[in-house]
Amino acid sequence: GAVVSQHPSWVICKSGTSVKIECRSLDFQATTMFWYRQFPKQSLMLMATSNEGSKATYEQGVEKDKFLINHASLTLSTLTVTSAHPEDSSFYICSAREISGDSYNSPLHFGNGTRLTVT
Amino acid sequence: KQEVTQIPAALSVPEGENLVLNCSFTDSAIYNLQWFRQDPGKGLTSLLLIQSSQREQTSGRLNASLDKSSGRSTLYIAASQPGDSATYLCAVRGGGGSNYKLTFGKGTLLTVNP
C-alpha cells in the first residue's frame, strides 16, 4: 500500500532555532501534500496545502513566514518551523494525495507525525 | 465553515462488545467522509472512505454509514478486541465553502478491556 514517510518522528529544540520536517511519498507521486498540526486532545487542524512546483496555500491564521513549506518534487515536501517558540510545540502530521482522475475522492495517506518540543 | 463533532469523546467497553461511534457535520455539501484510526503518538490510518453518493462501507468488523442529508455518520465495530483500542477520527472533505479541505472531529478515544 501507499506509504508516507515523515522524518524526524520527534525533535527537541531550543527556542529561537529552526526545525525542518520532511514528508516523503515512498511508492507514489503526490502533486499535493497537506500539513496538519494537532494539539493534545484536539482535532487535526490544516495548516497549509503544498503543491509541487508552486507556492503553498496557507490557512487563515497560519504565518507563512514562520512555517516555510517547500514542495520541490512529486515525492517530497518539507515544513520548516523558523525561530521556534514553546507555543509551537505540537504534533505535526503530513498527508499526501495520490494522483488520480477523481481528485476529490482520491485517498489521502498520512505520515506518522513529528512531535516537536521547543524548550 | 464546516464543523465536525464526534460523540462520545471517550468510550470504554469490555472485549467482545459491539459498539457505535457517532460523527456529525454541519454542512452536508461534502464529497466524502472518512474514518481514521490514530494510535498514541502516531499518524493516521484510513479505515473507511464513504463517497457522498454512498450509504455505507464495510471492511471486516467495521461498518460505516453515511446519512448525508442529516449530516451524520456512524462507525460500527463488531466483536471489539483490545487491539481496537485507539482514537477514532471522523473527517469530511468539502462543505463550508472549501472543496478540498478535510475537516476533522476531535475523535473518540476507545478502550477495549480484556
Q: What is the mean pLDDT of chain A?
A: 90
In the predicted structure, residue A89 carries a pLDDT above the cut 70:
yes
User: Which residue of B lies nearest to A94 if distances are taken between CA atoms?
Assistant: B43
- What would the pLDDT profile of A48-86 be if each residue is shown by its tens digit? 998 888 889 999 999 999 999 998 888 999 999 999 999
Q: Which three cell numbers stand for residue B29?
A: 455539501
A63: helix, strand or coil: coil
Please state, for a pLDDT cut of 90, what percent of chain B lies above it: 82
Please state, for a pLDDT cut of 70, what percent of chain B lies above it: 96
User: Which residue of B lies nearest to A57 if distances are taken between CA atoms?
Assistant: B101
Q: Are A93 and A4 in contact (CB under 8 A)?
A: no
User: What is the DSSP track for B21-74?
Assistant: EEEEES----SEEEEEEE-TT--EEEEEEEETT-SEEEETTEEEEEETTTTEEE
Q: What is the pLDDT of residue A68?
A: 96
Q: What is the pLDDT of residue B98?
A: 64
Span A84-93, average pLDDT: 96
How many Cβ pairs closer than 8 A exist between chain A and B? 53
For residue B93, list its beta bridge partners.
Answer: B32, B102
Span A27-44, average pLDDT: 88
In the predicted structure, residue A108 carries a pLDDT above the cut 70:
yes
B32: chain A residues, CB-CB within 8 Å:
104-105
Q: Which three cell numbers stand for residue B82?
A: 483490545
Say which amino acid occupies A102.
D
A103: chain B residues, CB-CB within 8 Å:
100
Q: What is the pLDDT of residue A78?
A: 95
Per-residue pLDDT band for A102 (boundaries 50, 70, 90) equals: low
Q: How far is CA B94 from the centre of its chain?
A: 16
Q: What is the pLDDT of residue B78?
A: 98
Nearest Cβ partner for B43 among A46, A105, A111: A111
Cis preceding linkage at A40, omega within 30: no
Hey, are the CB atoms on A110 and B100 less than 8 Å from each other? no
Element (H, E) at B106: none
- What would the pLDDT profile of B34-83 be if each residue is shown by its tens digit? 999 999 888 899 899 999 999 999 999 999 999 999 999 999 999 999 99
Hey, are the CB atoms on B45 and A110 less than 8 Å from each other? yes
Question: Which positions 43-102 of B are in contact with A (Cβ < 8 Å)?
Answer: 43-46, 49, 51, 89, 91, 93-94, 99-102
Q: What is the mean pLDDT of chain B?
A: 93
Per-residue pLDDT band for A103 (boundaries 50, 70, 90) equals: low
Hey, are the CB atoms on B32 and A93 less than 8 Å from each other? no
In the predicted structure, residue A7 carries a pLDDT above the cut 90:
yes
A118: helix, strand or coil: strand
Please state, for a pLDDT cut of 90, what percent of chain A lies above it: 66
Hey, are the CB atoms on B31 and A105 less than 8 Å from each other? yes
Place of cell 476529490: A104
Element (H, E) at B87: strand B86-93
Q: Are B92 and A108 in contact (CB under 8 A)?
A: no
Hey, are the CB atoms on A110 and B44 less than 8 Å from each other? yes
Phi, psi of A27 (to 5 degrees): -130, 25
In the predicted structure, residue B85 carries a pLDDT above the cut 80:
yes
In the predicted structure, residue A101 carries a pLDDT above the cut 70:
no
Least confident of A37-51, A71-85, B86-100: B86-100
A27: helix, strand or coil: coil
Residue A12's CB is within 10 A of a number of other CB atoms, namely 11
Cis preceding linkage at B8, omega within 30: yes
Per-residue pLDDT band for B97 (boundaries 50, 70, 90) equals: low
